[in-house]
Amino acid sequence: MTDARLRLRDPAARWPHGERFAHQLIDDAATITDAEWEALLGYEWRSRLTAACLIGVDRSERFRERIGDLLPTSEVRFSDNT
């Protein structure tokens, strides 16, 4: 395998701050309170998506059912115009 291909497989080679960013994201997600998670999950889709991602990063199981309940919910309706 060429050096260029090895660098593409290594996230740190693509973005040297990636590992530090990931650790900080994990640390920050662990500091968010349950009330803050509930507030984010109760707002619009962008906040819910952000909360769901950060809850996943935190590996929190407390909100698994809540996120599952939100998955089929959509405020936007799409129609098939074919």
User: Which pLDDT score is estimated for 6?
Assistant: 47
Q: What's this model's pTM, rounded to 2 decimal places?
A: 0.60
Can you tell me the distance from the alpha carbon of 32 to that of 55, in angstroms, rounded to the nearest whole number?
Answer: 9
Picking from 17-21, 37-41, 52-56, which range would have the lowest pLDDT averaged per residue? 17-21
User: Which pLDDT score is estimated for 71?
Assistant: 76
Average pLDDT over residues 48-56: 87
The residues, ordered by sequence, that sit 6+ positions from 30 with a Cβ below 8 Å of its Cβ are 58
| pLDDT bucket at 39, cuts 50 / 70 / 90 | very high
